[in-house]
Amino acid sequence: MTGKRRMIRKWGMTLVGLVMLVAGPAMAAPKQIVADLSNSRVDITSSYHGTELLLFGAYEGMPGDDIILVVQGPATDIIQRRKAKRAGIWVNVETKVWQEAPSFYHVFATDSLPSIADEEALSNATVSPLAGGLTFIADRDDAANGHGGGEKPASSGPAIAGDPEQQNNLRRNMEANGLWQVLPSSIVTQQDMLFRASLSLPSNIPTGDYSVRVLHFRDGVALSERTTDMNVRKAGLSALIYRFAHDYSALYGIFAIIFAVASGWLAAVAFRRK
């Protein structure tokens, strides 16, 4: 693992050097920022157990400037349930469906977020999983019927639904499973010109199209922003099995049964004469 990390770092620094050369002329324009990922495609193969990507780039900075990096996954419905004690046992009693919420939201920064900018500036720059606006339906039946998700509530509520406590509960739940995260002081800068961050992606990462946004902050104000795309997808054997199971589900089931019958029969034959 350390070997791999070292390799990534070494390779990353070479790339950063290259970016410097390429980005040289661009940096003459004011408040420019350029960034790239060591790999814009994450393949979830059978041996996938989380991975590390290197994000690097160049910006026209001054001492005291900050960089914030937001890795955001595809929007999805988040089903939140609350347990309560009923007849002596803990039972789910309430369901809330947060609609079109980011399935993945990792924030990296050169410092802690409050010391970079105030809440309003961060919110204006949409540096919060809730900043894009979030609504929920707290109806049990909607949770039951809304398979596939996507339907909006009849009345359009406020941009961010719920009181701060409900929002914090969602945050806490999503941070507990590692899908939302804020990592302060996780970006390294050099000479107010170069930056790099090591993005470690967890093993339970949702698949789909991601955006990686880089923001340049000075005195609590976002000066410039750059977005790079990233794609997370199943690949190899795991993609094959997944596609088979979803596209030809009946055939998949029959195949699974035949495989089980054959291996059960083989096992019986193999161990018959001991």
The answer to whether 103 and 176 are in contact (CB under 8 A) is no
Q: Is 1 in the site for another protein (CB under 8 A)?
A: no
Give φ, ψ of 220 to 5 degrees. Answer: 80, 10
Q: Is 67 in the site for another protein (CB under 8 A)?
A: no
Q: How many residues of this chain interact with another protein, rule: CB under 8 A? A: 68
Which amino acid belongs to residue 113? L
The answer to whether 109 and 183 are in contact (CB under 8 A) is yes
Residue 154 DSSP symbol: S
User: What number of other Cβ atoms are within 10 A of residue 216's Cβ?
Assistant: 23
Distance separating alpha carbons of residues 250 and 168, to the nearest angstrom? 42
Residues 8-37 that bind another protein (CB under 8 A): none
- Smallest distance from another protein to CB 90, Å: 6
Q: Is 170 in the site for another protein (CB under 8 A)?
A: yes
Distance separating alpha carbons of residues 105 and 178, to the nearest angstrom? 9
User: What number of other Cβ atoms are within 10 A of residue 159's Cβ?
Assistant: 12
Of 7-15, 209-217, 218-226, 262-270, the window that binds another protein (rule: CB under 8 A) is 262-270
Q: Is 222 in the site for another protein (CB under 8 A)?
A: no
Q: Is 176 in the site for another protein (CB under 8 A)?
A: yes
Q: Is 103 in the site for another protein (CB under 8 A)?
A: yes
Which parts of this chain interact with another protein (CB under 8 A)? 44-50, 76-85, 88-92, 95, 97, 103, 140, 143-145, 147, 149, 169-170, 172-174, 176-177, 179, 203-204, 206, 234, 237-239, 241-242, 245-246, 249-250, 252-257, 259-261, 263-265, 267-268, 271, 274
